[in-house]
Structure 1
Amino acid sequence: MPKKVDHHKRKIQIAETTWKVIVEEGIEQATVRKIAQAAGLSVGAVRHYFTSQSELLHFSMELVSDRVIQRAKARKMLKDQDTLEFVTEGVCQVLPIDEERKIEMEVWLAFSAKVLVDNTLRELSNKVYNDMHQGLKNVIYALQSLDMTKEGLDPDMEVHRLHALVDGMAMHHLLNPNHFTHENMTETLNYHLHSLLQ
């Protein structure tokens, strides 16, 4: 009797292999042929799920975004947990502070560069940007609604500033991990969020 294939799991396996190829060899090397080889599949098997490289990249990038969103939604505030600690941990979901998040961020940055020359990926890039911006907006507005922030704070400007800070820290760490460490990222984030408080 032929073995039943879980098609969703197979698509995720192919997408995760795509991440591996992107991280190790660059996004330009993430061809259907190379990914099939790395996944131990035939080109035909990969094309059964993804008819083009663009479709494969699109699914792979959506998976990055979905993983971050799932982690954020799965978080529950502990009974005695400090509010600032909880929101800080939320922001850390998008920072490369462990191996899993580092791979996600490396893949996302490679994808973002690809968007500059491939407009078919622009819509997804915009969606993920907006999702992340909304998540960071929730952080600032939560602190403000709890009367924790300084008087006269411009929340929309603070969302832009936090988004730029998160992107910048991720980039600095990926390019210079020995100079801008995990600890530097979390310390900088803590310093910044504390600067918004009364």
Structure 2
Amino acid sequence: MPKLVDHEERRNHIAEATWRVILNQGMKGATVRNIAREAGLSLGALRHYFSTQDELLVFAMKLVKDRATERIQQIAMSDLPPKDKILNIMLELVPLDENKMAEMEVWFAFTFYTRHKNDVLDAQHDGIYAGMKKLIDYMDHHHMLRNNLDKEIETEKLYALIDGIAIHALLEPHRVNKERIKAVLSQHLDSICAEG
């Protein structure tokens, strides 16, 4: 009897192989041939799932985003106090562990690779700005923000903080470590929240 193949699992396996190739060889090394080899598949088998390199790259990056979104949704649905919930969501968006470090490195490599390719996934619309806007709106709705804050400016500041600290954590992981990231994000959250 032929072995049944879980096609979604196989597509995810190929996407994860793509991440490993990008981490080890950069975007230039992310050829269909190298990815097939990393995934342990023939070129024909890989092309059965992804007909073009761009289609494969888009799926691989979407999987990064989907996994982060799933983790964030679990936090959003938790019973944590509102401020802890917000902090934990922000911490999901920065590289605090080896897996998130790899996801972030792959995401930034992909972002720089696609910035001049308009027909590929627009990595600039990664959902982080929209997520920061939702966090600010959530804090406003729960009367957590200090009075007279400009919500648009605070959204932009939070977006810049998350992106900036993620890049610094990638470039200087010994200096911008887990404890420092938590301290910076906690202090920023304290600075925009009303006391009490």
> Which AA in structure 1 matches 2:24?
E
> Which AA in structure 1 matches 2:117?
D
Structure 1 unaligned residues grouped into runs of 5+? none
Structure 1 counterpart SS, 2:41 = coil
Mapped contact 2:21–2:30 kept (Cα < 8 A): yes
User: What's the TM-score once normalised by structure 1's chain length?
Assistant: 0.93
In the aligned structure 1, how far is the partner of 2:35 from the partner of 2:49? Answer: 13
> Which AA in structure 2 matches 1:58?
V
1:118 CA drift (Å) = 2.2
Structure 2 unaligned residues grouped into runs of 5+? none
Q: Could you list the per-position Cα deviations for residues 140-167 of structure 1 after superposition, in whole angstroms to 9, with x for gaps in the alignment?
A: 1111222121110011110111000000
Partner of 2:152: 156
Q: Could you list the per-position Cα deviations for residues 115-172 of structure 1 after superposition, in whole angstroms to 9, with x for gaps in the alignment?
A: 1232222x432432xx221211111111122212111001111011100000000000
In the aligned structure 2, how far is the partner of 1:96 from the partner of 1:145? Answer: 28
Partner of 1:119: 118
Mapped contact 1:54–1:120 kept (Cα < 8 A): no
Higher helix share: 1
Equivalence map 1:129-140=2 (5 Å): 131-140=127-136
Q: Could you list the per-position Cα deviations for residues 68-98 of structure 1 after superposition, in whole angstroms to 9, with x for gaps in the alignment?
A: 11111122332xx332111100111111011
In the aligned structure 1, how far is the partner of 2:22 from the partner of 2:160? Answer: 24
Mapped contact 1:58–1:124 kept (Cα < 8 A): no
Equivalence map 1:1-198=2 (5 Å): 1-75=1-75, 76-78=77-79, 81-121=80-120, 123-128=121-126, 131-198=127-194
Mapped contact 1:88–1:190 kept (Cα < 8 A): yes
RMSD: 1.2
Structure 2 counterpart SS, 1:127 = coil
Q: How many residues align?
A: 193
In the aligned structure 1, how far is the partner of 2:74 from the partner of 2:184? Answer: 25
Identity of matched residues, %: 39
